[in-house]
Structure 1
């Protein structure tokens, strides 16, 4: 167990920040990568956010813990370590301590996640945050977390497998957002997505689904998985949609 402040202190040195032009304060969007960590496609999203006037802060949950890429592939991508509920503590710490970032406007805040990162955001929404100690997120003071200023969530091909809380429990907090749903996602079919989104909507959350003819992780070049295919055209469309979504918040 760690406090929110201790978790933030662990994460802060490895943050990757893209700032808009001009003087702040700027609205902030936290980006939570999939288990592949920060790769080329995340920088493209972050640059698009900056051009839209948002400070994009990418949270590197894995390097912050001293884990190598090979270690993460073996233990995180396979679900042995740092499942979504545990990584939810990183999301809690980031949104609670956003005010410590220079030029940040804590009153205008959004979160964005890809695959494992989206899993963390969605599982966070299922957790009771008014109970001291015992949080699934490994946070000893979850009652001190503050989600009130989070204006929305961008969820790209979230992992919604059987081990995710979002497939089993209703959300306890409202968070509207945009969900990118690849129609050829081998990690979650239509039924699995509907289960997770039904639990999310039980909180009153308004989640717009954006189906796209693509695979899981379609926006990440260089992957060698036989069922994942990089689609540059779909990637451009999704990055544009991400920037447009931010401008509407």
Structure 2
């Protein structure tokens, strides 16, 4: 399916998975890394739908003819995410008051931008429509330096990540005022970038930096994510994906 990006109105490819039943269900907008959205990563949407959410995995690259953006900035992420939010809010089986964001690496950068509202200016989004929570796997927290996170946020990062260092995320969390919404940082000892992606079980270098799967971190991070979404978006019940 396709929806419109919030700033340009460009058509964006998305992959929608929903629980069985009439709803209304909470929903999650999923945002991929700079490596794009290979078919095996779309399984995350099935997992989230199995927990009781409508899952919309945004493919920022498909209609733009991009393969990866690891060496360049990609400013369209927030616009696409808010377009997905607007699209989901109009579906009869989605509760528009319970929509969150989940991003990976570059998509995690977008999730933190959403959480800090530093990206909504100039976007065509109804004023009462907003994301209620954001989760970011190994995001580049340095990009959010100085930002105030205005919605509940979960950040998961590997201790040895040399792509998006955990120290930057530590600083971001420490910089939040005491009255902030809940912001939780989970650091996985010995884990590297893409620690949840089994296709990197053997490890791989990208620009000299290590991408490697870590089974223990992957399994624990899924539980952290499940519990965070349940606490902040309150799904009706764990259901089978449709």
Report the CA distance shift for 1:55/1:147 in structure 2 as closer, same or farther (over 3 A): same
Report the CA distance shift for 1:27/1:190 in structure 2 as closer, same or farther (over 3 A): closer
Q: Does residue 1:117 correspond to 2:107, yes or no?
A: yes
RMSD of Structure 2 on Structure 1 (CA): 2.7
Q: Hey, what does 1:217 align to over in structure 2?
A: 194
Q: State how far apart, in whole Å, the 1-side matches of 2:90 and 2:74 are.
A: 25
Report the CA distance shift for 1:241/1:40 in structure 2 as closer, same or farther (over 3 A): farther
Report the CA distance shift for 1:110/1:16 in structure 2 as closer, same or farther (over 3 A): same
Secondary structure of the corresponding residue to residue 188 of structure 2: strand
Task: After TM superposition, give the deviation of residue 198 of structure 1 in Å.
Answer: 4.0
Report the CA distance shift for 1:19/1:126 in structure 2 as closer, same or farther (over 3 A): closer
Q: State how far apart, in whole Å, the 1-side matches of 2:28 and 2:63 are.
A: 19
TM-score normalised by L of structure 2: 0.79
Q: State how far apart, in whole Å, the 1-side matches of 2:33 and 2:43 are.
A: 15
1:196 to 149, 172, 184: 172
2:78 to 59, 65, 88: 88
User: Which structure dedicates a bigger proportion of its chain to helix?
Assistant: 1
Q: State how far apart, in whole Å, the 2-side matches of 1:155 and 1:40 are.
A: 20
Q: Deviations over 1:2-21 (max 9, x none)?
A: 972743x512xx21111112
Q: Hey, what does 2:50 align to over in structure 1?
A: 51
Give yes or no for contact 1:160–1:187 (8 Å, CA) kept in 2.
no
Aligned pairs, number? 221
